[in-house]
Amino acid sequence: MPIDIKLCSACFTVLLAGCAIMGRQQRENPIDRAKVNQVQRGMTKSEVTDILGAPVEIIFSNKEHDPLREHAYIFEHVTTKYTGITFGLLSFGNVDEKKDRVVVFFDERGDVESVGKTLLSHESSYGFPFGK
């Protein structure tokens, strides 16, 4: 009979020994939604950078006659949330990365032609690796 108690204790010790790890990583500066909405078609590049600051990346035209024309400015802020949960022999990990990303396209004259925006970094979440 004592062997059963030892067995149960050993099983519980092994199976219940666990831990949880949670972490959040943020890259680049946060993007203010209100400021993004201030960027309007027809604005100049300097007006855009006055509002949003320096872009993270600049896309250049590769046209033969105008290879250094700035075609688009990219602004980005990335939030990644990490979840790690261990139950004895099983461990579950989840990584959820969401971005705030704004791409401002310029026309031939260098004025704003259009603004593409995806502001979803706040939707990054902790969780198990199941479901959608």
Partner 1 sequence: MTNIILRRVLLATCLLPLPGCRLDFTRSQRGQPLKFDDFHELQPRETRREDAVEKLGAPDRVRWESGKSRLTWEHEDSTFIQLRLQVPFSIFGYRHNLFQYFEDQRNVNAMDLLFDESGLLEQKTLRLHDAYKTPHEPGSWRFVLTPRFEHSFLLLGDADFQDYDEIFDDGFVAGFDLGIQPVPPAVVKLGGRYQIHDGRTISAGATRVSFDDLELFTAEASVRLQLPLRILFDTEQLQNVWTLLLEDDPAVFEGWLVFLEAGLGVTFNGNVPVALDGVPGGNFFDAGPGVSSSIGVGIEYSWEGISVQAAFVYRTSDGFDEGNSPLPSDADRFQSFLGMASVSLKF
Contact positions vs partner 1 (CB under 8 A)? 1, 3-4, 7, 10, 14, 41, 59-63, 71-72, 74, 89-99, 101-103, 105, 113-118, 120, 129-130
Q: How many whole angstroms separate alpha carbon 29 and alpha carbon 61? A: 26
Cβ at position 19, least distance to partner 1 in Å: 13
- H helices of the chain, where? 2-16, 33-38, 45-52
Cβ at position 132, least distance to partner 1 in Å: 8
Name the region of 47 (left: φ>0; alpha: ψ -120 to 50; beta: rest): alpha
Cβ at position 32, least distance to partner 1 in Å: 15
Q: How many whole angstroms separate alpha carbon 10 and alpha carbon 54? A: 59
